[in-house]
Structure 1
Amino acid sequence: MGENNERNIYRAIVLVLGLVAAIGLIWYLGQGGEGLQEDGIFELFSNLPDPNNQGHQGE
């Protein structure tokens, strides 16, 4: 009986991950795929501000 419950937990996890992936795909397609042409999703992270530069330039 415990094995059946464990299998149901794994099925629920896979179902949730599938739903999240489907929602993400629908969102991405709803954006028209814009903004992710050249570097893909890594372009989103390439323009982050430098955490070491706290606005103290010229000191």
Structure 2
Amino acid sequence: MTPRMMPGVVALGEGAWYDPDAKRVDKGGCINVLTTQRPSPLAKGNPSHTNLVQVEKV
């Protein structure tokens, strides 16, 4: 997150290949594990713009 981003917006600039462990938990950083597998109604593509997240300072 940067000061240039609009409040309430989170961006993932780059992901990685899906790399699951023995329990199928992704350890590679693949954004697709956070999105639905249903296509968007308009473009029939990945609806990555409609995901709710919670960000906490650690």
User: What TM-score do the two structures reach when normalised by structure 2?
Assistant: 0.19
Structure that is richer in helix per residue = 1
